[in-house]
Amino acid sequence: MCSRIQWKANGQPVLVGRNMDWTARMGTKLYAMPKGIERDGLVDETPLKWTSRYGSVVTISWDCATADGINEAGLNGNLLYLAESNFGQRDPSLPGISIALWVQYLLDTCATVAEAVAAARAWQVQPFELVHQGVKADAPLHLSLSDATGDSAIIEILDGTPRIHHGPEHTVLTNSPIYDEQLVLLKQYEGLGGKKPIPGTMEAEDRFARGAFYLTKLPEQPESYQAAVAGVLSVIRNMATPLGANDPERPNIAATIWRTIGDCTNKRYFFEFCDMPNVIWVNLDNLDLSEGASVRMFNLAADMEAAGEVSSRFQPAESIDFQKANTAVTWQPAA
């Protein structure tokens, strides 16, 4: 499931597009998280503890996990599925954090990709249990990061150890195989080092190739900000899986159910459900993210006429009860 791209044109902001692909609804909502919130990493031994230094707007799935978001410093984070993820045995000598809070911790505490990368080896991520088609599995996820300078990082956890690819050249991410292997496969395609035509299937390596190829086709000088955002949308939508195209045996092949664009430069966050024509966005400067402000929530699924800038539609909400590591997600869609 999932695809991510990063793009910056001359005179335009750093823009990050991502698709969320999954076989069922996820109860997805947007939350405004103010600075000054005290959090716990939600593991049994030596949990990581922190107080948020930056406010953020995040996408919460299953009412218990931050899947995506951007903070007021312009750091953008995206969780994507990676079947090869292996979080290893818990080492209580390291502070631990539930994967439900992986993105949230970095948005709470870091302004740049470099800061996030420096922190990534200082503590240990632990999964919670997902239930997919009735089968339990440790949440096999990897992470992409972007910031307002155009820096980028991909973080995979393989055999219990973070494997980090850091640099602005890391502009595309999908799912299996692991990132090193994706880069090798990419070289076989026309315009990317090889002679094969660009593939069109729903496989993760094919979506990876399409994203890399079509990023090279965007104009070097978009006519406007709107054209730049539309260009990123045109590429990330090209990497989508159509509604209804689910493989019940393979979470890697699932319909794209929602999509975001993070503007790291202007601190703006776009969101759309793929079964609705509305595109909404939030200017973080229009939200009160100061210490002591309330957590606020916007639910597009319950406000189906919303479009454009929606910061005024956020309503006070309870804090998220994030999923503890090594416990099973019990969320069910409303009838």
Span 265-308, pLDDT tens digits: 999 999 999 999 999 999 999 999 999 999 999 999 999 999 99
**What per-residue confidence (pLDDT) applies to 27?**
94
Q: Is residue 236 part of a domain?
A: yes
Q: Is residue 227 part of a domain?
A: yes
Distances (CA, A) of 120 to 18, 60, 164, 188, 217: 22, 22, 9, 32, 33
Write down the pTM of the prediction: 0.96
Q: Is residue 327 part of a domain?
A: no
Q: Is residue 166 part of a domain?
A: yes
Q: What is the mean pLDDT of the chain?
A: 94
- Cβ pair 264, 73 in contact under 8 A: no
Q: Is residue 95 part of a domain?
A: yes
Q: Is residue 324 part of a domain?
A: no
Look at residue 232 and tell me whether its pLDDT is greater than 90: yes
* pLDDT per residue as tens digits for the range 49-92: 999 999 999 999 999 999 999 999 999 999 999 999 999 999 99
* pLDDT per residue as tens digits for the range 104-139: 999 999 999 999 999 999 999 999 998 766 677 788
- Helix, strand, coil percentages in the chain from 3-state DSSP, rounded to 5: 20, 30, 50
Helix (H) or strand (E) holding 98: strand 96-98
Question: Strand 15-21 and strand 256-263: pairing?
Answer: antiparallel
Look at residue 201 and tell me whether its pLDDT is greater than 90: yes
* pLDDT per residue as tens digits for the range 153-200: 999 999 999 999 999 999 999 999 999 999 999 999 999 999 999 999
Domain boundaries, position 148: 3-316
pLDDT band at 251 (very low <50, low <70, confident <90, very high): low
Q: How many domains does the chain have?
A: 1
76-81 β-sheet, strand order: 161-166, 152-158, 141-146, 76-81, 65-71, 56-61, 29-33, 296-298, 315-316
Q: What is the CATH number of the domain that holds 97?
A: 3.60.60.10
Mean pLDDT of 313-322: 97
Give strand pairing partners of 38: 51
DSSP SS3 for 291: coil
Q: Is residue 334 part of a domain?
A: no
Q: Is residue 80 part of a domain?
A: yes
